[in-house]
Amino acid sequence: MAEMSFRDALRLTLREELLADEKVILMGEDIGAYGGSYSVTKGLLEEFGEERIMDTPISESVVVGCGIGAAMGGLRPMVELMTINFSLLAFDQIVNNAAKLSYMSAGQISVPMVIRMASGAGSQLSSQHSHSLEGWYAHIPGIKVAVPYTPRDARGLLKTAFDEQNPVIFIEHTALYARKGEVPDEDYAIPFGQAEVIREGTDVTLIGYSGSVYQALGAADILAESGHQAEVINLRTLRPLDVETIIASVSKTHRAVAVEDDWKFGGFAGEIAAIIMEEAFDELDGPVARVCGADVPIPYAKALEQAALPSPQQIADAALALF
């Protein structure tokens, strides 16, 4: 095992994929000479050259469109869109082309591409750089959505993403890039649709993904002080979603709180609540609670930004209300 940061785990995996397959190319704004907005691709241009590490114009729709064409032509592109907010400029390409081409061609066309983007708040990047829109992409058939929490997740899920034959939206929380964790020395991959029970408990299930897992773990510590043992689930992927692990946990604890940074109305936490109601209604001792971001654009000011995000105390309070 080696300890490394989230960003270093991503860089290591990208380098290995570039070395293993000459069809792998990287495309995106500032990913070459600058090394990426979050330093994930630093050094790769010098090692692999401009034909494989391509700095692109500031035009997300064009970048994704080029990636789709490259994938259809036999390459395996990784496209970086800097932030999930900017991906909205490429939403048509992602939803109407990348996600649908395999279906519309009856499987004759595949689009093996990875679209990386940063998400989440907590770094004072204001409202056009800080939102958590991954639930929007999880809504779309034809694409898979990975949301790693640990450096081990980042490496293992990115390995799997490069093996997929159709598009993967790979979302990285900005507040996690510098966080360190243990990563196995040996080569490994984490299958999509395989959540992790990151903390065992018997009294309530806290369900999160990406940065909200950190908040859920903080809530579990608070609950432990009052004698309640919370089980914390790290979803790892939103599509496919590991429903089996969620239901097994809720069947044990009989209470559930879904957590996400995104807005509550129409958010992915509501999807989790609906699935639990449909699959495990008789196991519940109370309604499924949701703790989500405030219904405002993310503010720039640090105190306001933190107030707009779910806190461990809010999650703990929501859990306590179920007892």
* Catalytic machinery residues: 60, 129
Run of H or E including 46:
helix 44-48
Question: Judging by beta carbons within 10 Å of its beta carbon (0-12, 13-18, 19+), is residue 311 exposed, middle or buried?
Answer: middle
CA 284 vs CA 255, 267, 288: distances in Å: 6, 21, 8
Q: Which residue has the tokens 């609670």?
A: 289
Do the bridges between strand 2-5 and strand 24-28 make them parallel or antiparallel, or are there none, so unpaired?
Answer: unpaired
Q: Can you name the residues that pair with 114 across neighbouring β-strands?
A: 78, 168
CA angle 183, 197, 189 (to 5 degrees): 40
Q: What is the C-alpha to C-alpha distance for residues 204 and 323, in angstroms, rounded to an integer?
A: 9
- Asked whether 167 and 99 are in contact (CB, 8 A), the reply is yes
What does the block give as tokens for 27? 């495309």
Q: Smallest Cα–Cα separation from 211: which of 127, 134, 137?
A: 134
Q: Which residue has the tokens 């979302």?
A: 171
3-state secondary structure 248-302: HHHHHHCCEEEEEEEECCCCHHHHHHHHHHHHHHHHCCCCCEEEEECCCCCCCCH
